[in-house]
Each structure stands twice: as structure tokens, then as C-alpha cells.
A and B are shown apart, each in its own frame.
Chain A
Amino acid sequence: MLLTLTTTHQPATDLGHLLHKHPDRAQEFRTSAGTAHVFYPRADEQECTVALLLEVDPVALVRGPGSTLTQYVNDRPYVVGSLLTVALGSVFRTAMNGRSQSRAELAATPIPLRVNVPVLPHALAERLFAPLGWDVAVEPIALGDGTDSRYGDVTLTGTHKLSDALKHLYVLFPVLDGSKHYWVDEDEVDKLLRAGDGWLATHPDRELITTRYLARKKPLVQSALTRLADVDDVEPEELDNALAEPTISQAEPKVSLAVQRRDAVVAALRAAGARRVLDLGCGGGALLRALVQVPEFTEIHGVDVSARALQEAARKLRLNRMADRQRERVVLRQSSLTYADPALTGYDAAVLMEVVEHLDPERLPALEHSVFVVARPRTVLVTTPNVEYNALFETLPTGQLRHSDHRFEWTRAEFREWAHGVAERRGYAVSFEPIGPEDPALGAPTQMAAFVLDDNSTLGEQD
């Protein structure tokens, strides 16, 4: 990867003094990120350009257990990001600190500078560099199919003290690189504070910068799901999406839809007199946290098929810090609603909050059997989106579902048809309740079905 820095301050060759690197020599430095080369493609009175080229060993970069295929074919050796800034901080450390024995005054003077990086993830470049006084010019880089990649050839122009400019680059390049930034060093916070000194505190996007700079992805800890994604040539996120956010997060003015849904479910459970409660498809534990608050629920059994979701639920519930009595009420277990699980029998109520729409329709009979034949609690609550209401979400394009993992979203009539079918086949009575603001024509955003075991019915277990 490559970075060039040019000044037209005259004599331009003073750049060599500021950087402590002679313009007529090509030099090589070993850094923790790879071999850094410093040389000058142009060095005269009018204009002087220094080039920093970092050679990364692609084989060494990705050695180690647990690596996945996507890491071997890796943009790291080419893209300007955290690796280059490590080299930058090492090779130009003195200049970055603003020290120069031979040109101390110049080091403290803003000079015209032009920085070019041929391959940079540029989405945030304008937003982050412009407030610091840089002009940002981007030439997007196209992919083979003609569409634009996330990279661009980026040129920054501005008048800055050299040390300030280097600090800007040092902090903001990794931030631009975002989630791909996983070069980990121990005292990352200190480094940020030092390099951000004098400008970061007043940057309008300081929070974004801080979060992204410090949020790093550990490259060596890959989930088993990532490996299964490898097998299928798909990106890990395509499988490992149990905790993915919905496409819309409808912010209702006072109480969000998610909260209303939770409240409606808890109220229905209390009304049913349930004490031992199943949260089937508990995900990250949004409902579990509400259930734990209600002392009537003496046993709360959360089930999800995603091991990662369960970890998240345990974390959010602060399970390991709960008092023993409280802890005893909660069970978190991996299970699947398409497999019959005898451990789910004997409960008073089961909740499937925003779960059924994550299953392919052809698997619904298996879910029906698991819930209504095997678990067979007295009360079953099912909530699911009402697709008719989607028209009222301004941010949701027509025809698009609310979550990328939704396999379907039902109209009110479709939901009722399914629910009535289940009730009839399994010996339950069912009633319906809208959740959220109700539109006269399109109904409420969420629909809930409450199934109650019909004591007079004789069906359900004889198929």
C-alpha cells in the first residue's frame, strides 16, 4: 500500500528535513506492520513528494489457527488503513511529534500539503477530513462488473502543520477502514489521545471517530458458523445473523413498537396466570429481561437455536451476577423449534415473539408440532409483523420486508388463517390482538395470536 505527501512550500526540499529522510535516498525500515520504504519520486525547489510504501507479507499476515478463507484473499496488503498508519507512526514519529532540529520553525508553521492514497475506503472521507480543513477529492475505483467498489483514489489538499497532518492521517485512516481495522495494540486509547491532541476534541464527529477507532474486530476468533459460511462460499454475515438488527427500527414518538410488543406479551401472560414460561426464540433476550422483572413468573426458560444469541442474552441479563434465587428462575438453552424437544413440556405458557417469520414456510408444520404437540402449554402467544402496515413505514421501500432474515410477512388474513388452522388441528382456541398504533385500513404494525388449550377438545395428540 502506498501514501504520497507533497508540499509546494518553498524550498520544497525542506520536507526532507521535516521528515528526517533524505530526498535523494531510498530507505527501508522494518516495522511491526511490514517493511516500509521511503523514497521521493520528486524533490526540487518547487515541489517535493515523499512516498511511503509498505510491503506486507501476505502469508505471515494470515497464519494461525481458526483463519477463514476470506482472510487469505485479503485486501489488507493493498488498502490504506491501520497497517499503514502503524508504519507511518513508526517511520515519521519525530515529524508527527512536531520536532525538527534543523527546521524547528517550519515544523511549527502551516504549509500547503497534498496527500494522495490510491486505495482508501472513502465513504466517510469527506465527512471526517473536511471539518479539519482538508479539501477532499475522490475518484472511485470500479470493480470488474463496472460497479463501484468501496475504495477510491483519494487526494487531500490543505494547509497544515506537517505534524498535525500526520496525526490526522494516523487517526482517521483506520477509522475510514472501519470494521476491517483489526490491528491490535495494547495501549490504543493512549495513542488516540496523543494523536488526537488539539483537534479531536473539537471535531464534530469525535464520537464516531472514537468508537470506530477503538472498535476492533479480533481476527482470530471466528465462529463455527463462519466456517460453515466458507463451505458455501457466502459471507459470514449471511449465516451468522441471529442478532442482526431489523431493516426498520420504527421510532414511535413515546413508546417504541418493541416495547409495546413486550408489554403486550407480558400483560397477556399475566392475564393467563402463567407461572412457568417459555420464551421460544429468545434471541438476545429482549423479552427475557422483561419477564425476569415479573415475580409471578417462577420459571423462565429461554430457548434459541443460535448459540451466539444465547451468549448475548446471558450477558444482557447479567446472569452471572444475579442473586441465586433470581438465577434459579432462569434457564437458557439451545434448542430448535423444528426438532421435537421433550424438555419443553410441562410449562404454562410459551411465547414466540417475532419468531415464525424467520422460518421458511415449509418448516412451519415442524414448528407447530414442537410447540403445540410436544411442548403443549396451556397458553401460546405468537406475534408477527402485519405486512399490510409496511406501507406506513416511510423508510421501508415498497415490497421489502422489515428484516433481511424474514422469510415472509403475513397480512392479517394470512396470519388468522394459519392460526385458526393450528388451533383446530391441535385443540386450542385462538384470539387476536393488535399491537401498536392501529391504522383504520391497514391495522396495527404487529399482530398477536393468543392460543389457549381447549379443555373440551379431544384433538391434538392422536395424529
Chain B
Amino acid sequence: MELKIPDLCLVVLVGASGSGKSTFARRHFAPTQVLSSDYFRGLVADDENDQSASGDAFDVLHYVAGKRLAAGRTTVIDATNVQRADRALLVEIAREHDVLPVAIVLDLPEEVCLARNATRPDRDFGPHVVRRHRTALRKSLKFLGKEGFKKVHVLRSQSEVDDATIVPERLLNDLRHETGPFDVIGDVHGCRQELEDLLGALGYDLVRDAEGRPVDAVPPAGRRAVFVGDLVDRGPDTPGVLRLVMGMVSSGHAFAVCGNHEQKLVRALRGRNVQVKHGLAESLAQLAAETEEFRRQVERFCDGLVAHYVLDGGDLVVAHAGLPERYHGRASARVRGFALYGDTTGETDEYGLPVRYPWATEYRGRATVLYGHTPTPEVEWVNNTMCLDTGVVFGGKLTALRYPEREVVSVEARKVWYEPVRPLVAAAPDREPDVLALGDVSGRRTIETAYRGRVTVRPEQAASALEVMSRFAVDPHRLPYLPPTMAPTATSKRPDVLEHPGDAFAEYRAAGVREVICEEKHMGSRAVVLVGKDSGAVYTRTGRPFFDGELGEELLARVRSAVTEAGLWGEFDTDWLLLDAELMPWNAKATGLIRDQYAAVGAAAVGALSAALEVLRATAARGVDVSELLARTTSRLANAVGYRDAYERYCWPTTGLDGVRLAPFQLLATEGRTYHDRSHLWHLETLARLDSPLFTRTRHLVVDTGDEDSVAAGVRWWEELTAAGGEGMVVKPLANLTVGERGLVQPGVKVRGREYLRIIYGPDYTEPANLDRLRQRGLGAKRSLALREYALGLEALERAARGEPLWRVHECVFAVLALESEPVDPRL
């Protein structure tokens, strides 16, 4: 005997003690699918038969059942469930999670139960218990359907039990095996001519009957149409639309979900008392001219429409009024209600139409959701959802979306067929921005990145990033990226220095990177420049704007005009560019820090050591031996002067933007495109075309890590740079993004100059005793952090390029900031 149960459901076993429920469950379901009351009694009370623990045991059992159903896992309840009240709770849990409850009743004779219990020493509670169970069960049997169980299977003998097999059935809405490609078509509302136009534009061949009426349309190879519902009402030819769509559905050329208008039409055709409003009158009048046979077909067709479909392995959901993720692939009156009518707030607007809750702004699901129901003048993506109702019947357009291409195809209405109650214009000119939710960023988060798998953000990291992002950063719409931190090269074993280019070359050679580029490190502040044709932002590594108000606008204007001069808008076919750059001088941003920290230490050090030297010399002149201390102090004074010179070199006075320099070194993205697959030479050459006094070029040298002469030339180049007061250089794989045998390769390592490092490690770091200790620095955490942030940054750029919703981009950007609060040695 085959017991059919829905693919996803709550199976409630019903049967007296000893009826063999546990054995049955074991035979047909995985152990983790079965929640047994005995087991839960054991969990909470250490005794499976302690009836006094039943209350707690069922609390926990219900909780676990809820979690499983929320996650979309079929669950089996192994308990007697002979009491109506117990079953009612389970039906309620199933409804709460919009899955169908199914009852499998083991109605076995009393003697079978008693015999089975007799073999179980822990079930010595006497025959009256079994008898009571069976009485309750028999009373329940005929009401199970009424109680809400969608299917009831009753097994009345041991042989029936033994013969039973469980057969899962796909839900009606489950078309995951249909992988498209699809042409999803918005609300048609009886506009047959426009539908013919649109199908033509989509490349479908219309099939006409003897009277020339279209009765089918043959799609281009492999494609299928999906209608989002509301085929009927208001328009001039509802029967014509139905004839065509019903033909397409029955020939397998199309799917259609139910709209609220179809639902109501069915009721009207069945003679139910419905209000003949919103264009229903037109449909009824038009259908009255058709044959009775046709009207019956229409009634059957509309009645049989499913409220939503899950397609393409779960990646596409089509529902008339849209559908939040928790309802995808679920079945309940609530799910159907949402799919047909949306989540109405109960309020009505000034035109008497229901106000709809903007579920799409909160949508965070994986699947693309396509829907109709609410006419809008233009389609747009909101969090991976799109409303395709462009109001053709009101004189707008009929729209289809090609999936997975995401290409919009529209045809104009031939005329205004029906006067809209509410004008078909955008509801508010200042449209709600893509709303970010606290849940998009807070708490423990795991982000799937293309280049380094899952990256985890801990709650406390997110907490501090939340404060900085909320209070100080530029608007997330203008913050598509934050740059990753960069690790230094491995600590050098050479005497006298902490970092040396030879180690960087060796490291890349070992990672299989043959060609690297050395880029001069400009000692300024890292700046990301988003320059649009009429907007943009220049921001720091934590997303804070560099300059307030007019100065920031002026800087952007200068970048913009350089981009225009260089002809980059057209070349990249874009309205914006995102640049990674260094902004100089250092004091442009860090004035306070330099004054109160670096300069103060310099002044204090030079002052204190000069005075010390003076008294030591006087002491020595008296013939007291202070020679060692004198030598040490002399050396420390030289260090202090070296330190002071080092930071002063990177500071110069600026007035407004005069004196400010920008050195862009990478084009991160333009509209729909990223560039981490282009060589760094390409980046530098492209950006060198930005030509104005604002811009500084980045000197660079390509080194072959496998060639000794080339390596020696690279070392020399670094020595010359740093001897002339340069901060140092960054060594990067020439090819840019590089994935090696052991995963992502560091996108760059910095090799800082000996003098520069005084402002990082303190004036005296070069004293041999200090250097030896500083060499113990551990780089592992910094390197891992650099790679994680790099992967997140790439992920943000690629998501933005793919046109993904703001929250998907923002979660990556936010994660970079959150990771930056990780306690890593800040000197690295």
C-alpha cells in the first residue's frame, strides 16, 4: 500500500501504546526526522516513561519540530496523539510554518498492542491504558480531516503496516526541476493585442485556430513563458487572452500562477455573491458572448491555478503579489493569501485602494522573485525582486523579463483601455532608498566570498563597526567598497633592517608568481574615490569623508574633469568610476594626530636628549666617567632627529585643495564591470591619463622574481627610493588577482624604508638590541586578515557590478570595517 505524503510535511503518527509507531517510523524515515515523545521525556527527565515529565518533554519536542519545519525539513511526530488536543497543537505548528500536516493512523487490534507491550518490561502499566488509547483513537478517526490534516492514512492490521511504503509527492508549487530559460510576463488584464505583440517581440510563433484566434504560441527553442497572474478583467479581450494562455499552458509552452482577479472570476462564474468591481464586469460581459463550454474551461483553468511556483532549483519564484522567503515552496491559506493579495496593511489610500506593505524592501532571500499586482510606470530591481506589472491596461506597457538573462522586454499599450483609479505615476518622487536593515550587518555573520570561501564576522567586531558606519561613514549608497589592510613582507634576517625587498621577491617566487610590480609607496592616506558624472565621494579606509562640504565637492569636480578630459566615461561606457588611491600630504587628514602625537614626541625627544647630552658633557669634563651613557645618548639624539625628519618629510602645508595630491593606482570598478583581472601596468597606464596638477603618478618597476639581475635591480630601486626619503614600496603580482595552488595570493606586500619605520616603531628601533626583539613580530594574523579583507572587497565589487541589491554589497563593505577592529599589531 502506497502512502502518499507531500514532499515537505509534518507527519503525525497516531496510535495506541504498543501499536508499533516507533518501529514504523524507524522503517520509513531517517532517525533524525523522527521526534519521539519517549526520547524527549528521557532528555528532560532521564526516564522515557516518566509521565510527569510529559509537559516539559512536549515543549521541547514542539520547539525542535518548529525549528525543523522552519528550515523546510519533513518531520515525524512519534507519540500516541490519540487526544484531539495534542493533535491540535501539532496542526498549529504545521500551520505556523506553512507546511501540510499529514496523519498516519496505526489502528491495530487491542491484542496486538497488548502483546507487544508485554515484551517490554518498562511498559507494565496494564491493559486499561491501551484500551483507553484505542477508545480515544476510534472517536477521533472521522474528524482528522476536519482537524486540518491534509491527508489521513489509516492502517488497520499488521499486514497493512508491513506492506506500507511511503511515497513523497512534489507539492503543486514545486517546479524546481524546470530550469528555464523563462520569459516571465506581467499582468495582461485582457489586453490580447499587446500580449500578441509582446510574444512576437519575445520570438514566439502564434498558433491560430480556424477563426484566426491565437490558441497557442510556440516559444524559441528551450524557452517557456511564465505568467504572473491577472490575465483577466478590465481589458478589451479577456476571453482572447485566456484562450491563448490556456492553450500555451496545456501545450506545455507556459506556466501561469493565479492572480487575485482569476480567483474572483472563478467565484463569479460559480455564481457566488461577489462585488462586480475593478473590471470584473467587462470580463463577465465578454465571457457571456462565449460558449458555455468555453466558460467551463475558463472556470476549471482559473480554479486550477497554483498560487506560486518555485522554479530553477529554487532560484526563481513567481507569485502574483510577490512572496517573502519564508513562504517559498510552502503551502497554506496564508501563503496563498500573500501570493494573491500581498501583505495589505488594512489601510486604504486616498483612492480607496488597499495600502500594501513593502515586503520587497525587507526581502533578503536567495531566490529572484518576479511578480505583478501593483502597477508601476517602470520596472526596477529591489533586493533581487521585480514587479512586472507596468499597467498595460491603463495605457502603460506590457512587460516581460527574460530569465536568467535579466533582460527587460516591453511593448506599449495600444491605448488606455481602462481609466486607472490611481494615476500611474511613481508614488513619491523621493523614492525610498534601498533600505538597509540592522539584521544585514549586526551579530555574528558569515559571508560567502568567491575567492576565499566563508569569512566570519564576530558580533563584537560588528558592534564597533556599526558605530563607525552609522555615525561617521558616508551614505552606504556611495560606499561600495573599503580597501583591505596590507601585510608587510616577511621580517628580514638581514642586519640593520626590519623589512627588505629581497624577502618580498622571494616570497612571491615561492608562491609561483614570476612577475611582480614594485610600486612606489606614497606616504599619505589611503583614499577611495567614487566619481560620478554628478555625484561621488572621497573617503578613508573606515569610510569617513576626507573633506567636508565644498572642499570635497571641489576635489570631486577636479577628478571629474580629468576623467572627462581623458575620455574615460565613454571608453568604459559608464556614469561612474571607483578608484583606489593615496591622498597626500599625510597631514591633509592626520593633522591632529601628527601635531599631538608624532610632532610632540619629536619635540620632546630632541629637547630631552639635547639637555641630557649637555649635562653629560659637563659631567665628563669634571673627569667623571659617563662615557657609555654619553655615547648612547648621542646615538639616541641622532635617532630622534632622524625620526623628526622622517615624519616632517610627509607633511606640507595645504590651503584648501592647494597642495593636495592624489595618486590613483587602481581602477576598481565602473558600471557593471570590475578590473582585478587586468595587470597593474594596465591600471597605472590607464590612470596616468588623468592629467592635472591634482594627480601624482606612481613610479613603478617590473621585476622578474626568477631572474637574479632583475631582483637586484628591484632591490637597488628600493634602496634609492628610501635613501631619498621615500616611505618604501609595495610589491604586487603583476597580473593582479592571483589564485595560486594554496589559494588566494597576497594582493601586495609592503616593504618600508629603514628611516620611515622610525615613525612606526619609535626613534630608537634601529638600536641593535631593539631590532633583535622587534624581529620576533608575528605576521600570521595580519596576513590572514589582509586576505580575508581582500576577498571581501572583491566580493563587494563583484556584487555591485552584477547589480545585486545594496544590502548584499553593504554586508561585505561592513565586514571589512568590522574585521579592521581585530586586535592585530598596528605597526604591521
Genuine A/B complex: yes
Check if B608 sits within 8 Å of A340, measured CB to CB: no
Q: Is the CB of B823 within 8 A of A228?
A: no
1/0 contact string of B434-460 vs chain A (CB within 8 Å): 011111111000000000000000001
Stretch at the interface among B140-148, B218-226, B353-361: B353-361
| Interface check B607, CB cutoff 8 A | yes
Taken together as a complex, chains A and B put the C-alpha atoms of A1 and B610 apart, in Å, by: 10
Closest-CB distance, A362 to chain B (whole angstroms): 5
B150 at the interface (CB under 8 A from A): no
User: B570 near A: Cβ within 8 Å?
Assistant: no
> Which residues in chain B, 573-617, are within 8 Å of chain A measured between CB atoms?
586, 589-590, 592-593, 595-605, 607-612, 615-616
B456-499 Cβ-contact flags toward A at 8 Å (1 or 0): 00001101111111111011000000000100000000000000
The distance from the CB of A462 to the nearest CB of chain B, in whole angstroms, is 5
Flag if A72 contacts B760 (CB, 8 Å).
yes
B interface list, Cβ under 8 A from A? 345, 347-350, 355-358, 362, 427-428, 430-433, 435-442, 460-461, 463-472, 474-475, 485, 525, 540-542, 544, 586, 589-590, 592-593, 595-605, 607-612, 615-616, 618-619, 622, 624-626, 629, 632, 644, 648, 651, 759-765, 770, 773-774, 817, 820-823, 825-827
Contact, CB under 8 Å: A43 / B604: no
**What A residues does B763 contact at CB under 8 A?**
58
Residues on A with C-beta less than 8 A from B770 are 58-59
Complex: how many Å from CA A43 to CA B622? 9
Q: Which of B438, B485, B592, B826 contacts A238 (CB 8 A)?
A: B592
Given A232-B541, A233-B525, A339–B463 Cβ distance below 8 Å?
Answer: no
Q: Are B604 and A235 in contact (CB under 8 A)?
A: no
Task: Flag if A239 contacts B472 (CB, 8 Å).
Answer: yes
A230 within 8 A of B: yes
Inter-chain contact B432/A234, CB cutoff 8 Å: no
- B349 contacts across to A, CB distance below 8 A: 458-459, 462
Option from B428, B461, B764 in Cβ contact (under 8 Å) with A224: B461
Interface assignment of A323: CB less than 8 Å from any CB of chain B:
no
Q: Are A341 and B438 in contact (CB-based, < 8 A)?
A: yes
Q: Which residues of A contact B485 (CB under 8 A)?
A: 231
27 pairs across A/B with beta carbons < 8 Å?
Answer: A2-B612, A24-B622, A25-B624, A40-B622, A53-B612, A67-B826, A70-B593, A73-B598, A73-B601, A73-B760, A74-B601, A141-B604, A141-B607, A144-B644, A231-B541, A234-B593, A235-B593, A235-B597, A239-B468, A305-B470, A307-B463, A334-B442, A339-B436, A365-B433, A369-B433, A458-B349, A462-B358
- Complex Cα gap A223–B821 (Å): 9
Which residues of chain A are near B347, meaning CB under 8 Å? 458, 461
- Report how far A77 CA is from B639 CA in the complex, Å: 13
With a cutoff of 8 Å between Cβ atoms, the chain A residues found around residue B468 in the complex are 225, 228, 239
On whether A340 and B436 interact (CB within 8 A), knowing A41-B619, A143-B599, A461-B358, the answer reads yes
Nearest residue (CB) in A for B540 is A232
Chain A, residue nearest B647 (CB): A144
| Across the A-B interface, the 3 shortest Cβ-Cβ residue pairs | A118-B611, A41-B618, A224-B464
Give a binary string over A48-81; 1 marks a CB under 8 Å from any B CB, 0 the rest.
0101010100110000011111101111011100
Interface residues of A in 279-323 (CB under 8 A from B): 305-307
Residues of A within 8 A of B619 (CB): 26, 39-41, 51
A9 smallest CB distance to B (angstroms)? 20
* A66 engages B823 (CB within 8 Å): yes
Chain B residues near A341: list those with CB within 8 A.
437-438
A337 and B464 CA atoms in complex are apart in Å by 15
Contacts of A4 in B (CB 8 A): 615
Q: Nearest A residue to B599 by beta-carbon distance? A: A143
Min Cβ gap A64→B in Å is 11
A462 x B427 contact (CB < 8 A): yes
Q: How far is the CA of A75 from the CA of B598 in the complex (A)?
A: 9
- With an 8 A cutoff between CB atoms, is A357 at the interface? no
Residue of A with least CB distance to B485:
A231
Known: A72-B760, A307-B464. A339 touches B603 (CB 8 A): no
Binds B, one of A146-154, A211-219, A379-387, A438-446: A146-154
Contact A336 B438 (CB under 8 A): yes
Are B607 and A118 touching (Cβ within 8 A)? yes
Q: Report B703 CB to chain A, min CB distance, Å.
A: 29
- Report chain B residues within 8 Å CB of A360: 474-475
Q: List 7 additional contacts besides A230-B826, A239-B472, A459-B349; criterion CB under 8 Å.
A: A58-B764, A69-B827, A70-B597, A78-B605, A225-B468, A340-B435, A365-B433
Determine whether the beta carbon of A461 is less than 8 Å from that of B436: no
Q: How far is the CA of A75 from the CA of B608 in the complex (A)?
A: 10
B427 adjacent to A334 (CB under 8 Å): no
> What 0/1 readout, one digit per residue, does chain A (18-49) give for beta carbons within 8 Å of chain B?
00000011100000000001011111000001
- Specify the chain A residue showing the minimal Cβ separation from B374: A462
Check if A461 sits within 8 Å of B355, measured CB to CB: yes
Partner of A232 from the list B589, B615, B821 (CB cut-off 8 Å) is B589
The CA-CA distance from A72 to B433 in the complex, in Å, is 44
Q: Is A324 an interface residue (CB 8 A)?
A: no
Judge whether A234 and B592 touch: CB under 8 Å: yes
Which of chain B's residues have a CB closer than 8 A to the CB of A462? 349, 355-356, 358, 427
Given A41-B622, A43-B622, A227-B821: A143 touches B603 (CB 8 Å cut-off): yes
Asked whether, in the complex, the Cβ of B762 is within 8 Å of the Cβ of A73, the reply is yes
B residues within 8 A CB of A51?
615-616, 619
Q: Given the complex, which residues of A lie within 8 Å of B590, measured CB to CB?
A: 233-234
Complex contacts, B435 vs chain A, CB 8 Å: 340, 366, 369
Flag if B358 contacts A24 (CB, 8 Å): no
B437 and A145 form a contact (CB under 8 A): no
User: Does A91 reach chain B (CB closer than 8 Å)?
Assistant: no
- Of A224, A362, A461, most buried by chain B (CB within 10 Å of CB) is A224
Do A235 and B438 have beta carbons less than 8 Å apart? Answer: no
Separation of A228 and B541 alpha carbons in the complex (Å): 9
Beta-carbon contacts under 8 Å, A320-351 to B: 334-343
B232 to chain A, nearest CB (A): 25
Residue among A65, A119, A143, A231 making CB contact with B542, cutoff 8 Å: A231
CB atoms of B817 and A75 under 8 A apart: no
Once the chains bind, are A342 and B437 in contact (CB under 8 Å)? yes
Asked whether, in the complex, the Cβ of A2 is within 8 Å of the Cβ of B608, the reply is: yes
Q: Which of A231-249 contact B (CB under 8 A)?
A: 231-235, 238-239, 242
A59→B773 contact, CB < 8 A: yes
Contact A149 B603 (CB under 8 A): yes
- Say yes or no: is A403 at the interface (Cβ < 8 Å to chain B): no
Chain B CB within 10 A, most for which of A4, A74, A149: A149
Residues of A within 8 A of B598 (CB): 73
Residues of B within 8 A of A366 (CB): 433, 435-436, 475
What residue of chain A has the Cβ atom nearest to residue B825's Cβ? Answer: A67
Residue A425 at the chain B interface, CB threshold 8 Å: yes
CB–CB A144/B599 < 8 A: yes
Q: Is the CB of A463 within 8 A of B428?
A: yes
**List of A residues within 8 angstroms of B817 by Cβ:** 228
Tell me which of B428, B466, B607, B827 contacts A78 (CB under 8 A): B607
Which residue of chain A is the closest to B623 with respect to CB atoms?
A24
CA distance A235 to B475 in the complex (A): 23
Residue of B with least CB distance to A24 = B624
A184 close to chain B: CB less than 8 A = no
Chain B residues with Cβ under 8 A from A103's Cβ?
none
Most B C-beta atoms less than 10 A away, residue of A70, A75, A462 = A462
Is the CB of A142 closer than 8 A to any CB of chain B?
Answer: yes
A298 to B554 alpha-carbon distance, docked (Å):
52
Q: Do A458 and B348 have beta carbons less than 8 Å apart?
A: yes
Give the CA-CA distance A234 to B596 in the complex, in Å: 10
Docked-complex contact A79 and B604, CB < 8 angstroms: yes
Judge whether A363 is part of the interface by a CB distance below 8 angstroms.
yes
Pairwise interchain contact A26-B625, C-beta atoms closer than 8 A: yes
Report chain A residues within 8 Å CB of B761. 72
Write out the residue numbers on chain A whose beta carbons fall within 8 Å of the beta carbon of B431. Answer: 463
Beyond A40-B624, A74-B601, whether A458 also contacts B350 by CB under 8 A is yes
- Which residue of A has the minimal Cβ distance to B632? A55
Contact present for B601 and A461 (CB under 8 Å): no
**Residues in A neighbouring B759, C-beta threshold 8 A:** 73
